[in-house]
Structure 1
């Protein structure tokens, strides 16, 4: 599965700790991340991570394009709800795309843990169906 990892500045350490804790699961998948977040996770874990631009410089939109092109299966985005983000419209667009394309999205550690455990147990295998477009048609 293709998994995107994103974190606002005040949540980067939390995401690094989370990925480190579940490194044995993440190493079985293709990982993508916004610039700084990906660099920090890769440095700490040694996992291979494809890095996009930093979120405010277009990284959120690059991940959004992957979602729209059916090339992203899961998003883990540790958001900081208490700090205003200058690129909030990009964040909102990314969240909207997850809803439109039915891409599982975790925005905090609790929901991310449920998703990663589900990934480990095969509960998200429906995301791997060859022609996912049939699933998206309501």
Structure 2
């Protein structure tokens, strides 16, 4: 499964901890991420991740292009709901593409947990 991992700055620690907790599931998937998130997952969790640009520099749009091409299966985007993002239009466009192309998207740890647990059960 092709999974994109994205996290706003204040959510980086959360996504690292989440991926570390489910490393056994993630190591079986094809992982993509925006710049810093991908670098941190690669360095800290030791998983291979295809990295795009950082979100504000176009990484969200690069992942959106993969969605539009039919080359993405799941998005985990841990958003910071309390901080305004300068690239909010890009975030909105990415979420819209997920809706248009029926791609499951988790925007918080609760929904990400449900999706990864379902994926874990599926691969048994």
Identify whether the pair has TM-score above 0.5, normalized to the shorter chain: yes
Could you say which residue in structure 2 is the equivalent of 1:81?
81
Listed one character per residue, the Cα deviations across residues 52-95 of structure 1 (whole Å, up to 9, x for unaligned) are 00000000000000000000000000000100000000000000
TM-score, scaled to structure 2 = 0.98
Could you say which residue in structure 2 is the equivalent of 1:101?
101
TM-score, scaled to structure 1 = 0.88
Alignment partners' CA distance in 2, 1:73 and 1:9: 24
3-state secondary structure, aligned to 1:32: strand
Please identify runs of 4+ aligned residues in structure 1 that moved more than 2 A.
none
Alignment partners' CA distance in 2, 1:45 and 1:12: 13
Alignment partners' CA distance in 2, 1:40 and 1:121: 27
Listed one character per residue, the Cα deviations across residues 79-138 of structure 1 (whole Å, up to 9, x for unaligned) are 001000000000000000000000000000000000001111229xxxxxxxxxxxxxxx
Could you say which residue in structure 2 is the equivalent of 1:118?
118
Matching of residue 56 in structure 1 with residue 67 in structure 2: no
Unaligned runs of 5+ in 2: none
Larger Rg: 1
Provide the aligned length of Structure 1 versus Structure 2: 123
